[in-house]
Amino acid sequence: MNCYIRATGNISPQLTAGHPPFLAGPLQEYTGTRMNCAEPDYKDLIDVKLIRRMSRIIRMGVAAATECLQEAGVSMPDAIVTGTAYGCLEDTGHFISRMVSQNEELLTPTAFIQSTHNTIGAQIGLMLKCNRYNNAFVHRGFSFESALLDAMMLLQEEEAQHVLVGGIDEITDYSHTILSRMGLYRRGHASNLDLLEQPSRGTMAGEGAAFFLVASERSATDYARLDGLATLYKPDGPAVIEQKLNSFLEANQLDFSDIDLVINGRNGDLKHDQVYDELKALQICPQVSYKQLCGEYPTSTAFAVWMAANILKSGDLPPLLAPSVAEQEKINRILIYNQYGNIHHSFVLLSAC
Amino acid sequence: MVKLMSDLKSQIIAQLNLQDVKPEEIGDDQPLFVDGLGLDSIDALELIVLLQQEYKIKLSNAEDGPKVFKTVRTMAEYIKAHQAQNA
């Protein structure tokens, strides 16, 4: 299968917007229980007349997609595919709270119109005047993976040559409060830079918008090649995960010794990180984590794919990411293994072009 | 009338989230839609809600919309006429 990552656009809690050198500067530190995105000046990327109607997540998504398309030099993708678990929460909260406070009367249309899960993909389509395939996947912890799988299938079946695909989720005050009550996040204040060194109950909330332009034809400026993707829902113990992982690698004619780097989805939550420890077969591979950079959210695999794409393009691991494994040989193949709540497990395989 | 038009300009900016637009930059007779302030059909719905929220006026006939929402002045005249009717 030919699926090349030609361009990326990423708005995250790190300084990733605008394609600065990959994780070259000091990492952004967040204390507390949430990591909000470091947002760019949107006026440079989006028409001001359109910005006024966009909530934060729409701005993040549209801006990341715009950066991605600009880098690719593609003005009209053959398809736009997005993945989001929570959708446009701010607009949803705004609309629902007004329904209550105004007794279901005098409701303004904008928040309602913008509150659907496909708003970002639709907004990108409207901006580009792109009437082609446009789909949004809302599958909890598999939302981005489903979008990516759809993009890969569109290329494989020759329905498209260029697909814009992205994963987007936001934290709002409402969602953070509700998810905190459900025990997802830590109590008290901690630093994201110590998130993995000091495992505890709960993790830190994160958010982000990462877009990719994937193409069926190779070009000289590609970041990486996407070789495979697999998902596993509610596995019954580590043996099942290892079995799935083995069959995934076998399907790609690989074994663990062929993997130069594993990017794992550890988030500092004792309960869920145990899953990574129990996968003995993975332990032979050098590993780095990424959620200390972006926090935990259902589409965080998109951040991991962005990270993997950048590592494969340069061939090196930034010392900031993992000083202990920075001295190894050129990285040619990366496996991303992430799990969200020990329910949604996914594997993404990428290689250097 | 001047006070009402000034209030309307601030309310329109707030309701429609018109970034970088100041009340004094909106002319009393400047068209609100298309070439003027560049508003569109979604904004028209927001303006209908604004009239209901701020002035308790329900636009009874949708066909009046283009005439009522033509400029800030026509909006103010419609509000004044409605208030006089109900006085």
Percentage above 70 pLDDT, chain B: 100
CA torsion sign, A195 to A275 to A144 to A252?
A: positive
* Tokens at A274, concatenated: 């145990």
Among A48, A107, A110, most B C-beta atoms within 10 A, so best to mutate, is A110
Yes or no: say if B47 and A105 are a contact pair by the CB < 8 Å rule.
Answer: no
A106 — contact with chain B (CB < 8 Å)? yes
| Residue B24, domain member (yes or no) | no
Q: Is A53 in the same domain as A104?
A: yes
Q: What is the per-residue pLDDT for A248?
A: 97
Q: Is A163 in the same domain as A232?
A: no
CB contact under 8 A, B49 and A108: yes
| Residue A194, domain member (yes or no) | yes
Among B35, B42, B47, B51, most A C-beta atoms within 10 A, so best to mutate, is B42
Q: Is A10 in the same domain as A88?
A: yes
Whether residue A117 is predicted with pLDDT greater than 80 in this model: the reply is: yes
- The pLDDT confidence band at residue A190, using thresholds 50, 70 and 90, is confident
Percentage above 90 pLDDT, chain B: 63
Q: What does the H/E/C string look like for A98-165?
A: HHHHCCCCCCCHHHHHCCCCCHHHHHHHHHHCCCCEEEEECCHHHHHHHHHHHHHHHHHCCCCCEEEE
- Per-residue pLDDT tens for A5-25? 999 999 999 999 999 999 988
A47 — contact with chain B (CB < 8 Å)? no
- Per-residue pLDDT tens for A265-315? 999 999 999 999 999 888 889 999 999 999 999 999 999 999 999 999 999
A322 — contact with chain B (CB < 8 Å)? no
Q: What is the per-residue pLDDT for A187?
A: 87
Which of A215, A246, A281 is where one domain is finished?
Answer: A215
Output A173-178 pairs: Cβ under 8 A, ≥24 positions apart.
A174/A89, A174/A93, A175/A86, A175/A89, A175/A93, A176/A33, A176/A34, A176/A205
CB contact under 8 A, B49 and A113: no
Chain B residues within 8 A of A51 when measuring between CB atoms = 19
Which of A170, A194, A215 is where one domain is finished?
Answer: A215
Identify the weakest region by mean pLDDT among A151-165, A265-279, B5-19, B50-64.
Answer: B50-64
Q: Is A133 in the same domain as A170?
A: yes
Q: Is A68 in the same domain as A113?
A: yes
- The pLDDT confidence band at residue A34, using thresholds 50, 70 and 90, is very high
Q: Is A252 in the same domain as A197?
A: no
Q: What is the per-residue pLDDT for B76?
A: 96
The Cα A352–Cα A232 span in angstroms is 25
| Residue B49, domain member (yes or no) | yes
Whether residue A1 is predicted with pLDDT greater than 90 in this model: the reply is: no
| Residue B30, domain member (yes or no) | no
Q: Is A40 in the same domain as A174?
A: yes
Q: What is the mean pLDDT of residues A89-111?
A: 89
CB contact under 8 A, A110 and B46: yes
* Tokens at A46, concatenated: 């989006």
Whether residue A327 is predicted with pLDDT greater than 90 in this model: the reply is: no
Q: What is the mean pLDDT of residues B63-80?
A: 94
CB contact under 8 A, A53 and B17: yes
- Report H helices in chain A: 48-51, 56-72, 89-101, 109-113, 119-128, 143-156, 173-181, 238-251, 270-278, 291-294, 301-314
Q: What is the per-residue pLDDT for A191?
A: 93
Which of A215, A235, A252 is where one domain is finished?
Answer: A215
| Residue B83, domain member (yes or no) | yes
Q: Is A287 in the same domain as A324?
A: yes
| Residue B48, domain member (yes or no) | yes
CB contact under 8 A, B17 and A106: no
* Tokens at A59, concatenated: 């701005």
Interchain CB contacts (distance < 8 Å): A and B:
25
Q: What is the residue range of A317's domain?
A: 225-351
Q: Is A176 in the same domain as A305?
A: no
| Residue B7, domain member (yes or no) | yes
| Residue B27, domain member (yes or no) | no
ipTM of the complex: 0.77
- The pLDDT confidence band at residue A328, using thresholds 50, 70 and 90, is low
Q: Is A67 in the same domain as A178?
A: yes
- Per-residue pLDDT tens for A221-239? 999 999 999 999 999 999 9
Q: What is the per-residue pLDDT for B38?
A: 85
Q: What is the mean pLDDT of residues B34-46?
A: 87
Chain A residues within 8 A of B45 when measuring between CB atoms = 108-109
Closest residue of B to A48, CA-based? B19
Q: Let me know how long chain B is.
A: 87
Q: What is the per-residue pLDDT for A329?
A: 78
Domain count, chain A: 2
* Tokens at A317, concatenated: 């691991």
Q: Is A152 in the same domain as A250?
A: no
CA torsion sign, A309 to A315 to A319 to A325?
A: positive
- Residues of chain B whose C-beta is under 8 A from some C-beta in A? 15-20, 38, 42, 45-46, 49, 52-53
Q: What is the per-residue pLDDT for B62?
A: 80
- Give the gap in angstroms from C-alpha A243 to the nearest C-alpha of chain B: 53
* Tokens at A130, concatenated: 């792109």
| Backbone dihedral region for residue A254 (phi beyond 0: left; psi -120 to 50: alpha; all else: beta) | beta
CB contact under 8 A, B42 and A51: no
Identify the weakest region by mean pLDDT among A185-189, A333-337, B20-24.
Answer: A185-189
| Residue A220, domain member (yes or no) | no
CATH number, domain with residue A272: 3.40.47.10
Domain count, chain B: 1
Identify the weakest region by mean pLDDT among A66-75, A88-97, A141-150.
Answer: A88-97
Q: What is the per-residue pLDDT for B7?
A: 96
| Residue B54, domain member (yes or no) | yes
Chain B residues within 8 A of A107 when measuring between CB atoms = 49
Q: Is A172 in the same domain as A247?
A: no
Residue with tokens 């990326």: A8
Single-letter residue type at A111: A
Percentage above 90 pLDDT, chain A: 83
Please, what is the average pLDDT of chain A? Answer: 94
Q: What is the residue range of B10's domain?
A: 1-19+44-87
